[in-house]
Structure 1
Amino acid sequence: MVASTAASTRSGLYADPNETWLALHTEDIIDPARPVVDPHHHLWDRGGVRYLMEEMTDDVSSGHNIVATVYVEARSMYRACGPEAFRPVGEVEFVNGCAAMAASGAYGKTLVAHGIVGHTNLLLGDGARAVLEAEIAAGNGRFRGIRHSSPWDADKDVAGIYAERPKGLLLDPTFRKGFSCLAPLGLSYDGWLFFTQLNEFADLARAFPDTKMCLDHCGGIIGIGSYAGRREEIFRTWKASIQEVAKCPNVVVKLGGLAMVLPGFGFHEWPKPPNSEQAAAAWKPYIETCIEAFGVDRCMFESNFPPDKGQCSYQVIFNAFKRLAAGYSESEKTALFSKSATDFYRLQLPS
C-alpha cells in the first residue's frame, strides 16, 4: 500500500519523515537507563518539512536516555544578507539559541545541541579563519568544528543535491589551505562523502595528522542508481577503504546514516516501518566492520535525524544499535553510546 509508506525522497538521499507511517510500529525501549549522547542531528524548517526543537525533543524523549546531542550543519538559517562567506555564521547563532532553550530545562532533560558543528567554506583558503573565529564567538562555548560536505558521483541520481559539487574537493590545494586553519583554533572536521571517495578522505587525514576528523555515516555507502544490485561487490570495496581510513589515528567514525535512502535498504517503501531486529540485521555487516576497524573508542552511534527518520523512529534506531552492541562489555557500550562522542566533541556533561 504505497499511500501508507514514508514520504517522497529528497533527491534520492533520504525520505521525509511520515509520522503516521512511523506510528504503525512502536517498541519497548531496550536498556532504557543507558546514557546516550547523540552526536549527529539537524534542525530545519524548509520545503514544507519542519524539524525544530519541538520535533527533536519529542524524539529524544520517546524512551531512550538521551543526555545530550551534537548539532551538525545543514545549511539551516543562514544569514539572508551580509558578506557571502559569513552567512553560515547565522546557522551557529540559530543553533546556539536552540541550545540555550534546551539548557533552560523547559524542553526536557536533554541538552540538545550541547555541541555545534557548523559550516565554513574552506575554499576561502586563508580567509576561512575569520569565518571560523566568528562562528566560535557565535557558539558561546558550544562551537566544536565544521563540516564542508564533499559527496560527488557521476551518477546524478546518486549525487542528488550534491550534483554540482566539485570532484576531488578534498584534494584541492585551496581547500586544504582553509582546512589548515582548523587545528590551530582547536576545531574538528566532520567529513560527509561517498564511499568511492574514502581514499581522498584518508589522504587528507594523513596530510593533517593534528586535525581531529570524523567520518560521517559509516563512510557513505551507496545502494541506489547505478550502484543498485551490487551490494556484495560494493561491500568489499567499502570495507577495504574503511580499513585504510582507520589506520589514521586522528579519525573517528559515526555509526549511522544507514536509514537514509542512499544505502538502498528500501525500508521507506515497506507497508510498515521496520522493527529494530530487521534494521539491526540489515546494518550489522557495516556496523561490525567499522567497530572492528576503528575500535569502540573511535566509534559513536548517531541518529542522523531527521534524514534517517524517513525509515525508522528514534525508538527503533537506538534499539537497533543496542541490539548490535549487545555482545560488547559495559565499558565498550559506554564508549559506543556516549564516551566516544563526549571525548571527540569535548562535551562537558552534568555529573
Structure 2
Amino acid sequence: MAEEAILEPDLPIIDPHHHLWDLRPLIGAFSEPRHPFLETLTHSAYYTFDQLLADARGGHNVVGTVFMECGAFYRAGADPAMKPVGEVEYVGGVAAQGASGLYGNFRPCAAIIGHADLMLGDGARPVLEALTAAGNGRFRGIRHQAAWDADPALLGPAFHIPAHVYLSDQFRLGFRHLRELGLTFDAWLLEPQLGDLLDLARAFPDQPICLDHCGSPLGTASYHGKLHERFDIWRENIRTIAQCPNVTIKLGGLAMAFCGLPEQGPMAGLSSETLAGMWRPYIETCIEAFGPDRAMFESNYPVDKWGASYNTLWNTFKRLAQGASDVEKRALFAGTAARLYGIEELLT
C-alpha cells in the first residue's frame, strides 16, 4: 500500500513513547513456533537512531521524542540492579546527537524513561540516583512493567513477570522513592489488571503516573473474539482510573499484536481511515475520561509497526482528533507530554 499524504503537516508533535534497541540476540533465543508478539519483534528487531530519524522526519512535524525503557544496551558485567543504567547512558548519546542541531529542530530522546527494579524496595533508591546521574539532565522517571495473564499464550515466553506486581508491599517500598526524587512512573499492564493500577494510584495520590497504551485491551489467545464483550469492563476501569488526578494516559499501543486491532501484521497496510474506525471507541473513551490535558498520542514504535507505518499511525491519530479544538490538539499531540516529562522548551 502506498504511503498516505500527511494530514495537518504543521501540527507540532512530541512522540512520548518509542524505543531504541537491538533485540536480535533475544529473539534468537526463542524456538519455533513463533508467538505473535515475538513475530512483531522479529520485524522490528533492530530500531536505531537512524530509523527513528527517518520515521520522525518522514512528513509529520515531530519536534521531539521521549525514549521509553525496553531492556536494551544494559551494562555488561555490572551488578544486576545497576545494569539498566547502561540503557540511559546509551540513549543520552542519541539525545546529544539531536541536541547538536545537526538534524534541525528535531530533538530525539529529549526526555528519557529508564528502568529500575522497584522490587528491590529501599534498594531501588541508589539505582534511581545512578539513573538520574547518567541522564545528564534528561532522565525523568522509570517504567516497571507488570503485564501478566494467566494464559501463557497471550504474551509468550518473552515475559516472566509475576502477577500483581503493583500490589506488592516490596514494590511499593521502592515506588515511594520516585516522588521523593521528583520522578515520574510509566505503568504498563493489561486490561484485566487495571484494578491493580487503580489501587496503586489511590495509594500514592501525589505520584505522577502515566498509563501506557490505553490500558492494553486484549484480542488474541484466550481473549480472541472478546474485545466487544470486554469493552464495557475496560471502559468502566478507564473512567474510574481517570478520577485519580495523578494519572495521565497514552493514546496508542493498539496496533500491538496481542490487542488484535488489527489482527494482521506486520504493517498491515490498512489505511488511517480504517484504523481510526477500529480504534475510535477506545481513543474517544480515554479522551472523554481524562481530558486532553491528561492524554497524549504515542507511536509506541517500533512495536506498533505491526499494524501501521509511522506516517499512517499519526494520520490515524489526526483523524481521531478532527473534532478537537486547536488548543485541545496542541495538548493531545505535544502539550501534555511536554508538561509531564518536563520538556516544554520544545514548544517555544
TM-score, normalised via structure 1 length: 0.91
* Alpha-carbon contact 1:300-1:340 (below 8 Å) kept: yes
Q: CA RMSD in A?
A: 1.4
User: Which residue of structure 2 aligns with residue 233 of structure 1?
Assistant: 229
Instruction: Give the distance between the partners of 2:223 and 2:86, measured in 1 at CA.
Output: 37
Instruction: Give the distance between the partners of 1:344 and 1:195, measured in 2 at CA.
Output: 23
* Alpha-carbon contact 1:25-1:272 (below 8 Å) kept: no
User: Which residue of structure 1 aligns with residue 333 of structure 2?
Assistant: 337
User: Which residue of structure 2 aligns with residue 171 of structure 1?
Assistant: 167
Consecutive unaligned residues of structure 2, counting only runs of 5 or more, are 25-41
Higher RCO structure, 1 or 2 (CA under 8 Å, sep 6+):
1
The range that moved more, 150-159 or 210-219, is 150-159
Residue 267 of structure 1 and its aligned partner are, at CA, apart by 4.9
User: Which residue of structure 2 aligns with residue 289 of structure 1?
Assistant: 285
Instruction: Give the distance between the partners of 1:107 and 1:307, measured in 2 at CA.
Output: 24
Runs of 4+ residues over 6 Å off in structure 1: none
Residue 242 of structure 1 and its aligned partner are, at CA, apart by 0.6
SS at match of 1:326: coil
User: Which residue of structure 1 aligns with residue 46 of structure 2?
Assistant: 50
SS at match of 1:150: coil
User: Which residue of structure 1 aligns with residue 30 of structure 2?
Assistant: none
Deviations 1:152-197 (A, max 9, x none): 1011111324642111110000000000000010001000000111
* Alpha-carbon contact 2:262-2:268 (below 8 Å) kept: no
SS at match of 1:331: helix
SS at match of 1:268: coil
User: Which residue of structure 2 aligns with residue 245 of structure 1?
Assistant: 241
Question: Percent identity between the aligned chains?
Answer: 50
Instruction: Give the distance between the partners of 1:245 and 1:270, measured in 2 at CA.
Output: 32
SS at match of 2:130: helix
- Aligned residues, how many? 328
Residue 321 in 1 paired to residue 317 in 2?
yes
User: Which residue of structure 2 aligns with residue 20 of structure 1?
Assistant: none
User: Which residue of structure 1 aligns with residue 220 of structure 2?
Assistant: 224
User: Which residue of structure 2 aligns with residue 65 of structure 1?
Assistant: 61
User: Which residue of structure 2 aligns with residue 9 of structure 1?
Assistant: none
* Alpha-carbon contact 2:118-2:173 (below 8 Å) kept: yes
Residue 31 in 1 paired to residue 21 in 2?
no
Spell out the pairing of 1:260-271 with structure 2 (5 A cutoff).
260-269=256-265
Instruction: Give the distance between the partners of 1:194 and 1:267, measured in 2 at CA.
Output: 17
Q: Match for 2:312: what amino acid? A: V
Residue 348 of structure 1 and its aligned partner are, at CA, apart by 3.8
The range that moved more, 190-199 or 259-268, is 259-268
Instruction: Give the distance between the partners of 2:50 and 2:145, measured in 1 at CA.
Output: 27
Residue 299 in 1 paired to residue 299 in 2?
no
Spell out the pairing of 1:46-125 with structure 2 (5 A cutoff).
46-47=23-24, 49-125=45-121
* Alpha-carbon contact 2:18-2:299 (below 8 Å) kept: yes
SS at match of 2:316: helix
Residue 194 in 1 paired to residue 200 in 2?
no
SS at match of 2:259: coil
With over 3 angstroms needed to count, the CA separation of the structure-2 counterparts of 1:161 and 1:92, relative to structure 1, is: farther
* Alpha-carbon contact 1:42-1:73 (below 8 Å) kept: yes
Consecutive unaligned residues of structure 1, counting only runs of 5 or more, are 1-23
Residue 198 of structure 1 and its aligned partner are, at CA, apart by 0.6
User: Which residue of structure 2 aligns with residue 11 of structure 1?
Assistant: none
